[in-house]
């Protein structure tokens, strides 16, 4: 099947990036969120990204206008998916919210439309089961920031058909992404390693093993990571990390995946990273400042 129209659910960190790369690849995109202010913020981020590309000479004004012209913000869920060929969901990592949304999407989207979730951890099979089309349901896991990162993990649920995987592989290629195929398991391939690694860095901060900046520097230079784990935690969003950790404990029944108490406390305080202005770093000035915990 040929994909022409893509609906992205959620205009947040991931949703606006996904909408941008889809529009850049020439797809007609609808970007849906629950409040106009989230749509406006998402559109503003896309515009800022494109203008950065324009300033660097990577993209022309005509292309910028074309990309922006292909993205429509929509508030009503039914309206947003009614003629979609592919729905990519990037709403918060909360099981009930995802299941309720998929039930509604399944009733409103065209019969043959493919449904793809950008979930970081939640079972594709569980989400597919609330729809009448588990064969057309698949995981399409992008990485943050979407316009920069080159990977999409394609996750096959219990009922996902190979032809659905093929379509997602083709679309991902058009978006300029390489793909890996992962059979469903909590955290898929990348987060299964990443989340325990970041949590371990947070345990180390909790235990006063090193300061935030030294822990980041140690891992960045010692392991040749492009950025330290605490900087990365702030990028991912501490709320998302906490959801994933709790989900891993539930799924694996293994306490080795437990979230550090410090992470839970920070999320309760609203310190969820870059998107809230504070996490392991304070982003209120131009230069992020590491937070002191001891
Ligand atoms: N942040 C990351 O690095 C990352 C990476 C890969 C995957 N993910 C996954 O992507 C998803 C979204 O994460 P995010 O970081 O973009 O979160 P976010 O909080 O930045 O954005 C979520 C957006 O969804 C909106 N929303 C809530 N309910 C909705 C609904 N019913 N319909 C449409 N929009 C709705 C919210 O208003 C918000 O704007 C999660 O499943 C997360 O696990 C995140």
170-192 pLDDT per residue, tens: 999 999 999 999 999 998 999 99
- Residue 141 falls in the annotated catalytic set: yes
Tell the residue nearest (CA) to atom 28 of ligand 1.
91
The H-assigned helical ranges of the chain are 13-24, 36-55, 61-69, 77-81, 95-108, 124-129, 162-174, 190-206, 212-222, 229-236, 238-252, 261-268
- Residue 62 falls in the annotated catalytic set: no
Range of the domain at 117: 5-183
Would residue 49 count as lying in a domain?
yes
Predicted local confidence at residue 121, as pLDDT: 81
Atom nearest to 42 CA in ligand 1: 39
Same domain, 111 and 223: no
Same domain, 273 and 163: no
Task: Report the number of distinct structural domains present in the chain.
Answer: 2
Predicted local confidence at residue 122, as pLDDT: 87
- Residue 120 falls in the annotated catalytic set: yes
Would residue 177 count as lying in a domain?
yes
Given 155, 183, 211, which residue is the final one in a domain?
183
Same domain, 222 and 239: yes
Ligand 1 site, residue 7, Cβ cutoff 6 A? no
Say which of 49, 191, 199, 245 is annotated catalytic: 191
Given 161, 183, 205, which residue is the final one in a domain?
183
Give the whole-angstrom CA distance, residue 282 versus residue 291. 6
Say which of 49, 89, 121, 141 is annotated catalytic: 141
Given 116, 150, 183, which residue is the final one in a domain?
183
Same domain, 168 and 223: no
Q: Is the distance from CB of 35 to CB of 74 less than 8 angstroms?
A: no
Tell me the per-residue pLDDT of 43-83, one tens digit each, with 9 for 90 and over.
Answer: 999 999 999 999 999 999 999 999 999 999 999 999 999 99
Same domain, 133 and 43: yes
């Amino acid at each position: 099947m040929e994909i022409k129209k893509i609906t992205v659910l959620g205009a947040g960190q991931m949703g606006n990036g996904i909408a941008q790369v889809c529009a850049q690849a020439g797809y007609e995109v609808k970007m849906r969120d629950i409040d106009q202010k989230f749509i406006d913020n998402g559109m503003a981020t896309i515009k800022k990204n494109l203008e950065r590309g324009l300033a660097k000479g990577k993209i022309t004004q005509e292309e910028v206008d074309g990309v922006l012209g292909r993205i429509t913000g929509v508030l009503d869920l039914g309206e947003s998916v009614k003629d979609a060929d592919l729905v990519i969901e990037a709403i918060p990592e909360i099981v009930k919210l995802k299941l309720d949304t998929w039930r509604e999407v399944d009733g409103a989207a065209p019969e043959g439309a493919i449904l793809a979730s950008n979930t970081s951890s939640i079972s594709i099979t569980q989400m597919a089961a609330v729809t009448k089309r588990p064969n057309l349901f698949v995981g399409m896991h992008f990485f943050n920031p979407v316009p920069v990162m080159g990977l999409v993990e394609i996750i096959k649920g219990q009922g996902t058909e190979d032809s659905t995987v093929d379509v997602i592989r083709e679309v991902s290629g058009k978006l300029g992404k390489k793909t890996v195929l992962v059979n469903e398991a909590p955290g898929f391939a990348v987060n299964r390693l990443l989340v325990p690694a970041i949590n371990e860095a947070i345990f180390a901060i909790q235990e006063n093993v090193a300061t935030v900046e030294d822990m980041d520097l140690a891992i960045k230079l010692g392991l040749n990571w492009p950025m330290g784990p605490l900087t990365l935690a702030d990028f991912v969003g501490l709320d998302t990390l906490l959801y994933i950790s709790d989900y891993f404990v539930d799924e694996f029944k293994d306490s080795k995946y437990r979230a550090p108490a410090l992470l839970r406390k920070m999320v309760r305080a609203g310190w969820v990273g870059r998107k809230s202005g504070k996490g392991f770093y304070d982003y209120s000035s131009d230069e992020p400042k590491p937070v002191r915990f001891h």
